[in-house]
Chains A and B, each alone.
Chain A
Amino acid sequence: MAHHSHEHAEAHPEVGHVVPVKYLLGAGLALLVLTIITVATHSVDMGEANLPVALTIAMVKAVIVALIFMHLRWDRPFNLLVLVGSALFVLLMLAFAAMDVHQNEPSMFNGNAPTAESTLMEHAPGAPVAQRRSTNGGAGN
């Protein structure tokens, strides 16, 4: 249905691409299964790995939505470039914004949210991090 002959296409100038139902249903099913998987991995303690695993699954889901539901697999590549390009620019903004995240000394500015260490200093003074901080007055690096 999607691949008319050239003559046919001229007689009935159809545009776009008709995605087969099985692709759509398959994509929907895959998205639901991945949602269940990501909720299941949530209850497993993987330490530092929990966030990357969840984000990877989200990324796979996003690719499925973009390629199948949003037709990008059959669409003009330039539209894909627009999507990927905007995502890359968000990452660029994140990269530059993240560069100095740990370079601030929050205690220098009253009212700024304290760091994890200063929170521990107040609420769990026995914690090793808090002890290290309290010995140098909490104002050093």
Chain B
Amino acid sequence: MTAHDQQHGHDHDHGHGHDGHHHDPNLAHHFDSLAQQFDSAKLGIWLFLATEILFFGGLFVAYAILRMRHPEIFSYASHYLDTIMGGINTCVLIVSSLTMALAVRCAQTNNRKGLIACLVLTFLGAVGFLVIKYFEYSHKLHDNLVWGPKFYVPPHTVEGQEEAKLLKTAPAAPGAAIVVNDPAPFAIPDLAKKPAVDASAVKSASAGPSGIARASGAPAPAPAAEPAPGPEEEAHPGTHLEDPNMPANTHLFFAIYYAMTGLHGIHVLAGMGILAWLTWRAVRGDFSSKNFTAVDTGGLYWHIVDLIWIFLFPLFYLIH
């Protein structure tokens, strides 16, 4: 410091005049003190979290409007969600939030091993959450409990799967693509031709499994035409389409369900990336009581992901 400073004394005198002691490697030059640097980082991450709240806020408002207008859809469709799985996921996120808060404490107290352990545990919590969510999603996707017209396609039958495939592959004019096949047993051509005006006319609920076909004027498929169901199909005898109590437009519940939990899931994925990065840096030995801002701010992000799930859980899983 001395020789160098003396050589370039003219240039640096005014800038470093107050800086008698050696410069802290953790302090960026544009900050006066570590405290100021820390407070700036915290304010920055909090402003980002505010945008996250507003981001999810739009979906929460959409949820509220939908539920105010169609309470019957929510109280009915909520029973298709697995409260046990949702509850376990809530606990998983809470515990991972706890380990994240402990990780920040470990970083503040120079406990490198504890920091790495807590970060890894938090990461595993995120993995566990997504694994449970995967089981929930895949079960619903298998049962056609989805958004859009596919909701009204009978699941677990060869016809249903073909219809679903056609829905997926037909790009611009789904009706035209389906004409190639025998349209008689299918209800979806009608729905696909005018989904915008006629979506609410799908009265599958009261009409039973072949209700869509009847609603569209086509003859119901003869039972003999159905292929013999395999053991897997027999395991799911009753689908939502056979439930006479299903209110109209129940698919709307699943639209908002996938939108909100899906966006939350993307945030969990992003959190996993942040946690992996923090773990890597912790192993490298970057963090100490003087330099733990990254752990702290990453932790705040992880807590907001937990915070949002705390509201999503009762709003979707716990509707009486």
Contact = CB atoms under 8 A, between A and B. Distances in A.
Interface stretch (B1-9, B149-157, B166-174, B305-313): B305-313
Contacts of A139: none
Given A66-B307, A87-B53, A111-B199, A102 B102 contact: no
Contacts of A119: 72, 247-248
Given A39-B87, A69-B303, A76-B39, A116 B72 contact: yes
Interface in B99-157: 100-102, 104-105, 108-109
A108 interface: no
Interface in B201-225: 203, 205-206
Contacts of A110: 197-198, 200
Contact of A65 (B203, B247, B296, B310): B310
Contact of A101 (B69, B244, B300): B69
Given A83-B46, A113-B248, A24 B68 contact: no
A57 B244 CA distance: 34
Contacts of A58: 310-311, 313-314
B108 A18 contact: yes
Contact of A39 (B24, B53, B83): B83
Contacts of B304: 70
B228 interface: no
Interface in A73-106: 75-76, 78-79, 82-83, 85-87, 89-90, 93-94, 97-98, 101-102
A27 B98 contact: yes
Contacts, number: 192
Contacts of B51: 86
Nearest to B51: A86
Interface in B57-75: 57-58, 60-61, 64-65, 68-72
A102 to B, nearest CB: 7
B33 interface: yes
A122 interface: yes
A91 B42 CA distance: 24
B35 to A, nearest CB: 5
A113 B196 CA distance: 11
A15 B38 contact: yes
B2 to A, nearest CB: 22
A78 B46 CA distance: 9
Interface stretch (B89-97, B232-240, B256-264, B277-285): B89-97
B310 A70 contact: no
Contacts of A78: 43
A18 to B, nearest CB: 5
Contact of A35 (B91, B252, B290): B91
Given A58-B311, A70-B300, A79-B43, A97 B65 contact: yes
Nearest 6 pairs of A and B residues by beta carbon:
A90-B57, A28-B98, A86-B50, A54-B314, A15-B38, A50-B320
17 contacts: A13-B34, A14-B289, A15-B37, A19-B105, A42-B83, A54-B314, A58-B314, A69-B303, A70-B304, A79-B42, A83-B49, A86-B57, A90-B53, A94-B60, A110-B197, A113-B252, A123-B206
Interface of B: 24, 33-35, 37-39, 42-43, 46-47, 49-51, 53-54, 57-58, 60-61, 64-65, 68-72, 83, 87, 90-91, 94-95, 97-98, 100-102, 104-105, 108-109, 195-200, 203, 205-206, 244, 247-249, 252, 289-290, 292, 296, 299-300, 303-304, 306-307, 310-311, 313-315, 317-320
Interface of A: 1, 12-16, 18-19, 21, 24-25, 27-28, 31-32, 35, 38-39, 42, 45-46, 50-51, 54-55, 57-58, 61-62, 65-66, 68-71, 75-76, 78-79, 82-83, 85-87, 89-90, 93-94, 97-98, 101-102, 110-116, 119, 122-123
